[in-house]
Amino acid sequence: MDVSSGDSSWLLRLRGRFLVFDGPDGSGKSTALKRFGALARAAGLTVTEARDPGGTPVGERIREILLDPIHAEMTVRTEMLLYMASRAQLVDEMIRPALARGELVLGDRFVSSTLAYQGAAGGMPEADILHAAEVACAGTWPDLTVILDVDEAAAARRLGMLLDRMEAKGAAFHRKVRAGYLAQTRRWPERHLVVDASKDVEGVWSDLIGGVERWATRPKP
């Protein structure tokens, strides 16, 4: 069943909201985002899906540079700034206008990825990342970030042999990435939902839908 209560009316509360699906490479976040987008559209919502990095012509060019294995010498500071440049264009060109139209925006990665990959795993100071994010995002932040959590061994099995530059950084790096995501959920629990992505597909989906529904229907403070 695609909606935990059998009633999809709660999805209408997501108009004009910004939800991000994030997690380690191989967690299934992109697949979950697509399925959630289809569910929301079936409920009558207009949905914009925003890939980060990418999502715009400028952002897609930046994405090519970031993920190309040929750029092995790229420093973590350069990575961080390129991700933020792509994100700034995405916010201005796609995310903010869609929110202004009352659409549901679903982000495939956002600042949470930079905090995990370039921060926790890459060693960039969190304060530097958040400062750059303030400039790039200009006040546009997710209402909820769904973290699909999976350990590095399971993620590696799912990814197979064809890895981009970030995916190919090794088990120790990706262990730190996972820890970085989980640290964010502890620091800002009200803005995060953790889903155990090691379960079977339908188990993950049930937990995800149930969690988002509880968040969307929670009493306002």
Q: CA torsion angle for 199, 203, 208, 213 (degrees, to 10)?
A: -150
- Cα–Cα distance between 117 and 196 in angstroms, integer? 19
What does the pLDDT look like over 59-90, one tens digit per residue?
Answer: 999 999 999 989 989 999 999 999 999 999 99
- Which pair of tokens denotes residue 77? 């500071």
Residue type at 31? T
Nearest CA-CA partner of 27 in 182, 195, 206, 172: 195
In the chain, % of residues over pLDDT 90: 80
Domain membership flag for residue 77: yes
Domain membership flag for residue 4: no
Rounded to 5°, angle at Cα 71 from 132 and 166: 65
- Cα–Cα distance between 57 and 142 in angstroms, integer? 22
- Cα–Cα distance between 109 and 22 in angstroms, integer? 5
pLDDT higher than 70, residue 143: yes
Domain membership flag for residue 2: no
Domain membership flag for residue 134: yes
Instruction: State the DSSP code for 219.
Output: P
Rounded to 5°, angle at Cα 80 from 175 and 24: 30
Domain membership flag for residue 64: yes
Q: What is the pLDDT of residue 170?
A: 72
What does the pLDDT look like over 26-43, one tens digit per residue?
Answer: 899 999 999 999 999 999
Confidence band of 48 (pLDDT split at 50, 70, 90): very high
Q: What is the domain extent for residue 37?
A: 27-216
pLDDT higher than 50, residue 123: yes
Domain membership flag for residue 149: yes
Q: For position 142, which CATH number holds?
A: 3.40.50.300
Summary mean pLDDT of the chain: 92
- Cα–Cα distance between 125 and 135 in angstroms, integer? 16
pLDDT higher than 50, residue 4: no
User: Half-sphere exposure (CA, 13 Å, Cβ side) for 78?
Assistant: 10
Confidence band of 163 (pLDDT split at 50, 70, 90): low
Domain membership flag for residue 33: yes
Q: What is the pLDDT of residue 162?
A: 46
Quote the number of domains for the chain.
Answer: 1
Confidence band of 6 (pLDDT split at 50, 70, 90): low
Domain membership flag for residue 11: no
How many Å is the Cα radius of gyration of the chain?
Answer: 17
